[in-house]
Structures are given as C-alpha cells and as structure tokens.
Amino acid sequence: MKLAMEAAEESLRLHAGGDVLFPEKIVQIFDDDTQERINCLPATFRSKKVCGVKWVSVFPRNPVLHGLQNLSAVIILSEIEHGFPIAFMEGTLCSNIRVGAMGGLAAKYLARPDSESIGFIGAGEQAKMHLIAMKTALPGLKHCFVAAKTAEEEAQFVAEMGPILSDMEVEGAETDLKKATCDADVIVTATTAQAPLLKADWVKPGAFYSHVGGWEDEYAVAKQSDKIVCDDWETVKHRTQTISRAYKDGELADSDIHANLVDLILGRKPGRETDAERTYFNAVGLAFVDVDIAHAMYERAMEAEKGFDITIQEKMIFEHPELKDWVRL
C-alpha cells in the first residue's frame, strides 16, 4: 500500500506537470438502470516511456445474483520506444489498491494526524482495502467499526481484517450505520447502494470522510463540510456521486469545492488547517493513477523475479512454415 500511495502521489505530480497523455475513456454501458459496463482507460507517462491501458468491467449485481465480485480488470503495459507490450497483468488488485491508495493519500492531507477511530458503511473489498490504506496513512488508528447490510458480512470483514491489523480492534456494528460512524475520526462509505446512507448528524466536527461509491450520503454531509476535495472536480461533477447530484440539483456550486487533491500535494491550497474542520474527499477514479501503480507493481515484480514470460508472436506471419497448410481460399 505504501508503494501504491507513493506511485499515486507521483502520478498526480507528473500529470500536473504535463508528463501524462490521458485521453478520454471509452465506456460501454449495457444496462442504464444497473450501470453494468466495461470501460477502456488508457494513459501514457512520457518520462517513464510506458503506455498502459486498463480494461475494467463493473457489474454491480454480480454479488447478489451470481455470488461473484462486481469488478474485474486486466492491465496491459507497453514500452513506447518500439511499441511492444512488456506486461499483461490481472488488474482487479491494482484497481482496488488505487481506490484505497487515493483515500489514504487524501487522509494524509485532510484527516487529523492523531485520528484513532475509523467507521465504515460497507464491508466489501473496497472497504477492506481502504482500511489498510487508512492505517498506512494514519498509523495511530486503533479502533474500527464496520456496518454492513448483514451481520454475516460484518463478521467476514472482522475475520479477514483482524489478523492483518493485529494492533487494531475491529468489530461489527450489528448493521447499525449510526453506531459505526457517529464517533469516528475517519468515515468511509464503500457501497454499491444508491441512497443517502450517511447522515450529516453522524459526522462529528474534526472528522474526515472518504466517499468511495456513488450516492452514499445526504447532501448535507457535503454542505456542512469545511473543505470538499476531489481527485478531479471537473470529472466528478459530470458523474453520479453525491456531490455530482448535488451540483446538478443546484445544491453545490463550483466555488464550494476547495481543491483537487493535487493542489494539496503541490501546496497550491491548504489541507486540514484546524482540528475542528470537517473534511470531505470524493474520488471518481483517474486511470493514469492505475497505470502508474501498475508500472510500480511491474517493476517490483521484475526485481523479485516474479511472473512468467509469455510469447505473443513467435514468428512474423508469413515466416510460419506451416502457413501453406493453414490457408484455405
């Protein structure tokens, strides 16, 4: 996670400096109601001489209907000196790490450094990855409450995360969302729900809130926040997150957004300034961050001599001696 957070911060700096080619993503939506879709997201880092693309499917109904994860992805990296692929990678891990890393990076600038408690609404993969990221950014975290749709989901969260973070107390909130969040220094919502689950009254002064999913909180949560920060507001405002909806409904304006995360990283805008500030972070996802994290993972794998070689093309097409036997006119 530390590697991912460092790569994420570096990628934002490089993008701000004009190093990154980042074309518009291609989105194929198969169901407007459920937003089942496959996205193609490319990016190139000139200084690193690497181009990457993430091919990611998002099928929100998978867990309920089929008992499958709702997100799957692959990543391809190519060098840009000759244009050949250098890596084909499973991308779900990278995607999940990126989401957590961005939340953890935001916490570095927006959460109270002395934060001790964290509360979750949602107990899936993104919530688990966020807990690791938040603990990485805020080592003083001691207590975690998680609220999910069922006590069984909470129990699984506790069983899986407790051994990983042995110096934290991790416990379920018995599906009580208020109990999980009302005393938390850090709040994370990571659900597939499209409803205002988090109430403004539950966010205490001084809390940092990381919004992961779509519509997960009341408009009032953002409106009462002292600072709202995005990974990229111009992208967020056109999506379906809570603050996107609030913007379209005239409840938030451009002037209500304090900064993009890179502005805090580069010192253009301040992060947290007082212990009492409520801070709000919303990341819609920037694929160039995935590509840089994937590249860092690739380099680490190469150093560790992990992975295996794949031969994509053994010979040029017309050099195959068997070609005469394969061609049928």
Cα gap 327→239, rounded to integer Å: 49
Which of 48, 49, 54, 128 is catalytic? The answer is 54
Q: What are the Cα distances from residue 295, in Å, to 11, 91, 131?
A: 11, 12, 23
Q: Residue 118: CB partners within 8 Å, gap ≥ 6?
A: 131, 134, 141, 143, 144, 145, 184, 185, 186, 187, 188
What is the torsional sign of CA 145, 149, 152, 153? Answer: negative
Nearest to 22 by CA among 214, 235, 258, 301: 235
Strands (E), the chain: 20-21, 26-31, 36-45, 50-58, 71-79, 85-90, 117-121, 143-147, 169-172, 186-189, 208-211, 227-230, 259-260, 279-282
Cα radius of gyration rounded to whole Å, the chain:
21
Answer yes or no: 54 catalytic: yes
Q: Could you list the active site residues?
A: 54
